[in-house]
Amino acid sequence: MRFFCARCCSFGPEMPAVQLLLLACLVWDVGARTAQLRKANDQSGRCQYTFSVASPNESSCPEQSQAMSVIHNLQRERELETAYSNLLRDKSVLEEEKKRLRQENENLARRLESSSQEVARLRRGQCPQTRDTARAVPPGSREVSTWNLDTLAFQELKSELTEVPASRILKESPSGYLRSGEGDTGCGELVWVGEPLTLRTAETITGKYGVWMRDPKPTYPYTQETTWRIDTVGTDVRQVFEYDLISQFMQGYPSKVHILPRPLESTGAVVYSGSLYFQGAESRTVIRYELNTETVKAEKEIPGAGYHGQFPYSWGGYTDIDLAVDEAGLWVIYSTDEAKGAIVLSKLNPENLELEQTWETNIRKQSVANAFIICGTLYTVSSYTSADATVNFAYDTGTGISKTLTIPFKNRYKYSSMIDYNPLEKKLFAWDNLNMVTYDIKLSKM
């Protein structure tokens, strides 16, 4: 589009400035590179703007309405150009999507061809029909459908289901071993630790490490299912989450939240006979907090015990004082300057926290990642990060003898900050890098 003016056109201040500037842009933009803009006062002193452009085709300037019409036309052209540019961009996007879908289709075709070849291979090597080799189904069993390879639809494997009494399974356990949960008082030496089973994952970084437990000697109103959990990342750890049911614990819905009267330190807390036992922050004091009444029932300093980073486990976390429970009751694991960093083990009275008996081991506390007690024997774990760690030492309080072990122990999430034994369930409870897990164990018969 071209706009030419045969003579100079002058506009006074009554013409809106916006229109004046649009007209100037119009004249310059359409290719009239010789256009000139001047302003000067007329004879009456009013300001005049003057545009000059050569135009051999027109004898006079168009009216203002004609100029505005040209401006509107230019605006429409620009809108069309923008729309066209958007269409080109959309076309490019669609072409890329078309290429991606074509590639996916080709990959799918190759997978289908491979699957067909695998099915054909299975058909060539399939077993004889079961009709010819059928055997009697044992009494009390039932037979489910056979596997038909003539169709690609969902198939069920043929199986035989036989009811077996639980007592028979226990009798057929490998001779000389007690499995997890195989009796309330059965004791023995640890010989095997199973793979970890993950029950719950912490929701925030405050659960990077922590402690969770069930009471091996529950008292009313608590049951064997009641579970407690403490996220221990932070400087003022006071919250204790309580779950009435295991299902609530696994889903993350606490039935109650306790606020402790003073903050705790480390991941060494335990629950026993209706009370929470924990180490007070930045102290060597062990505290008994009765959960049902939400009151402190006893406090006791552990004589000479290191605290707040003096003698922690190898992973740190101010794990200087670690409480434990086994078939015999309540214990505390720690170290002192007198023991020169070796693990010291004391049996505690659960009512008043008085020390009943103490043993000093030859196991350096900072050289092991964690410890727990089973049937009066202290066990230590070699590493808190290695996926293939071991239970590496045992100290028998009955004989005062320690020995090395090589029982495999899996740190699945590679940051185990708490490992405790539950003598009621005969399992290990652990906290591994935000994850709350359990381990089945086997004990040799005494």
pLDDT tens-digit profile of 375-395?
Answer: 999 999 999 999 999 999 999
Domain holding 280, by residue range, is 190-443
The yes-or-no verdict on residue 51 having pLDDT over 70 is no
Q: Is pLDDT above 90 for 141?
A: no
- Report percent pLDDT > 90 for the chain: 54
Retrieve residue 278's tokens. Answer: 């924990």
154 lies in some domain: no
391 occurs within a structural domain: yes
Cα gap 286→272, rounded to integer Å: 14
Q: What whole-number distance in Å separates Cα of residue 315 and Cα of residue 301?
A: 24
Query: What value does the mean pLDDT take over residues 199-222?
Result: 93
Structure-token pair, residue 176 = 């000389």
Q: What is the pLDDT of residues 395-421, one digit of tens each?
A: 999 999 999 999 999 999 999 999 999
User: Which carries the bigger pLDDT value, residue 353 or residue 143?
Assistant: 353
Q: Which positions ≥6 away from 284 have C-beta within 8 Å?
A: 301, 302, 304, 305, 306, 307, 320, 321, 334
The reply to whether the predicted model has a pTM over 0.85 is no
279: in domain: yes
Structure tokens at 403: 């020995």
| CATH number for the domain harbouring residue 315 | 2.40.128.630
* Whether residue 53 has pLDDT greater than 80: no
> Quick check: is 141 in a domain?
no
Q: Is residue 175 domain-resident?
A: no
* Number of structural domains in the chain: 1
* 15 found inside a domain: no
Q: Does residue 41 fall inside a structural domain?
A: no
Evaluate if residue 112 carries a pLDDT over 70: no
Residue 130 lies in a domain: no
